[in-house]
Chains A and B, each alone.
Chain A
């Protein structure tokens, strides 16, 4: 194996040297140089502003996600209870704010999941819904990003149940993707899941159909703003 490694690296070095290449120094060859970065890295749309939220909601609705609003922190539990009133069972990550679950009807059976006490795949498959927080959301692209921290949980819990309810604080909503990447780059090696709407496919005649393997229902609760 290390033999292959050495040979590939050697082949690359030779190729880049322009060595016995009949076409070396052909006009039209592209050369390395400083990367121009004129794209929008920042935005005049303030993070968490009404405008940012409006754009996010527009995108999410376009992707057939269902958007709910909670006026403040203390309204989250009420909205969660309303959204999940029909769910028979719910899984949540161990780092979730327990207050969010405080108003759930008794009919909803809850399961806690953690890195140290993970639920099995089959157990997850039997659970209706999952409730998590998120790391950051991008208004421009309608993307909610999870980075596996204790309030978001293992990647499997937001994948197997058919309904994902995600709480997004207004202050977490940036306008553009580069603004989110700046935050994510603080911990780039965390496992990340970027979510833009429920599972979908465009494989049949290139028309988008919602709901294939991932959660078929995505509910987003926006807090404040």
Chain B
């Protein structure tokens, strides 16, 4: 097992050569927001999985094209983004009042509101609510909040079986895997692997089932139908909660959401406190932004809205658990809090060159990709220098594609830089010498004096020798090897600027003097 600065990786070891576990499976961790190695090590491992890289390349290219088309169709797309962004900013600034308003309205319509400070408390509340019904099985709509708190594992420990009903979540659950994408948790699997998982883990797969997506979807339908029709308790997340009416919204495609939200007697919704929106009518903005950004559709097939209990229609025992679990920590950073604007569309994952190559598991969190890199470390906070989540803000080339794609204009690149600075400042505050700090001190010593700089430039000739014919250095010798750990160093040019100047301006050999002369005129 590889280590991170002496701390063993947290990832559970896989049983060696278990034929039932596909390559690229991430075992269920103890902490859904902090597992595996730090990003550089996890990424290096992930890059070895060529099958996964092909799957991701294909899937993200498909979704990028679809998104571009439907976004291009909306002439007011940028106006919608501006509105969505400001609505979310205002929501975060007025959060206590909006939460209380939501609570009043949801309660007035016969719903019950619960509050959970952390994952443990949320899991306890949900478990107690299920136990009160006497049921031992529940059906689930895909929900990031319940992934984040590790609800399924907690319920299993308390003898409650939770069945994921979203097709991708089902694939992940049957494969005893972790999600690798916010919207399409099984995006790292192709049809052949999915067929393989179904054949191994699903009871009664249709005879002669091929890997055609349609046949796989039908197998899932058959598998889950009985569960839906018999379920007495369902658990969901929520995409939006309107404060002024107490209305909850779930956006989905397959109808599994409608099944869970409509047929059972008891419905328990788990939602992060940042999912509030001020007004019901704001759905006219978010319900244009979300489907186009997530699945690249003008509208997702099904959206369900409910406000507490409707007598005679749908569940009559309706609960919501409002979860903090680190959100107030993120809120306390008035730059970092912008990550809480996220509506979980996953557009930033699909356009990210880093995500596309390493996949979601490398981020060691149920929130992968660019948004995960800024959200995860803020939700968990840092446990200190060797916290693998400290490496997440560095998991980016800062190309900016995520900012352009974000429907609520989260400036992810700036937030990454902000969070990097936080990590560096923490190290500085702890007077911890770092390679980075040492390199910067050395650079500032060299650059402060033109003679020292000239001398250093001459030394770059050695790098040319190291680069050789390929024109770049893939691996610098110690102690500079940290720089080339995740990037190549281009070979320095044959001639430095100063050498060129001396050669072409023999009568005026100091460029600094020349510049000063110009400025004085």
The residues of A with any CB-CB pair to B shorter than 8 Å are: 1-2, 4-5, 7-9, 11-16, 18-19, 21-26, 28-41, 59, 63, 115-116, 118, 121-122, 125, 138, 140-143, 148, 154-156, 159-160, 177-178, 180-182, 184-185, 188-209, 211-215
The answer to whether B299 and A141 touch across the interface, beta carbons within 8 angstroms, is yes
The answer to whether A203 and B184 touch across the interface, beta carbons within 8 angstroms, is yes
Given contacts A39-B285, A59-B298, A213-B221, 17 further A-B contacts (CB under 8 A): A14-B332, A19-B332, A26-B334, A28-B335, A140-B298, A159-B263, A189-B109, A192-B303, A192-B305, A200-B253, A204-B186, A204-B216, A206-B59, A207-B213, A208-B295, A213-B165, A214-B254
The 3 closest A-B pairs by CB, nearest first: A214-B255, A115-B312, A213-B255
The answer to whether B86 and A33 touch across the interface, beta carbons within 8 angstroms, is yes
The answer to whether B254 and A15 touch across the interface, beta carbons within 8 angstroms, is no
Q: What separation, in Å, do the CA atoms of A5 and B328 have in the docked complex?
A: 13
Q: Which residue of A lies closest to B142 (CB)?
A: A203
Q: Which of A29, A37, A212 contacts B167 (CB 8 A)?
A: A212
A-B contact list, 5 entries, CB within 8 Å: A30-B338, A36-B82, A196-B298, A202-B63, A203-B171
Residue B306 CB within 8 A of the other chain: yes
**Most interface-central of B165, B190, B306 (chain A CB within 10 A):** B306
Assuming the contacts A155-B258, A204-B194, asked whether A4 and B307 have C-beta atoms less than 8 A apart, the reply is no
Assuming the contacts A9-B96, A115-B313, asked whether A191 and B306 have C-beta atoms less than 8 A apart, the reply is yes
The answer to whether A209 and B213 touch across the interface, beta carbons within 8 angstroms, is yes
Assuming the contacts A40-B76, A115-B313, asked whether A201 and B217 have C-beta atoms less than 8 A apart, the reply is yes
The answer to whether A212 and B115 touch across the interface, beta carbons within 8 angstroms, is no
Q: What separation, in Å, do the CA atoms of A32 and B63 have in the docked complex?
A: 33
Q: Which residue of A lies closest to B279 (CB)?
A: A185
The answer to whether B83 and A37 touch across the interface, beta carbons within 8 angstroms, is yes
Mark out the residues of chain B between 268 and 282 whose CB falls within 8 Å of any chain A CB in the assembled complex.
Answer: 273, 280-281
The answer to whether A199 and B229 touch across the interface, beta carbons within 8 angstroms, is no
- Enumerate chain A residues within 8 angstroms of B90, measured Cβ to Cβ: 32-33, 35
The answer to whether A156 and B263 touch across the interface, beta carbons within 8 angstroms, is yes
Residue B288 CB within 8 A of the other chain: yes
The answer to whether A193 and B303 touch across the interface, beta carbons within 8 angstroms, is yes
The answer to whether A196 and B299 touch across the interface, beta carbons within 8 angstroms, is yes
- Enumerate chain A residues within 8 angstroms of B194, measured Cβ to Cβ: 204
Residue B301 CB within 8 A of the other chain: yes
- Enumerate chain B residues within 8 angstroms of A21, measured Cβ to Cβ: 332-334
The answer to whether B167 and A201 touch across the interface, beta carbons within 8 angstroms, is yes
Residue B374 CB within 8 A of the other chain: no
The answer to whether A178 and B334 touch across the interface, beta carbons within 8 angstroms, is no
Mark out the residues of chain B between 226 and 245 whose CB falls within 8 Å of any chain A CB in the assembled complex.
Answer: 228-229, 242, 245
Q: Which of A12, A36, A59 contacts B83 (CB 8 A)?
A: A36
The answer to whether A177 and B288 touch across the interface, beta carbons within 8 angstroms, is yes
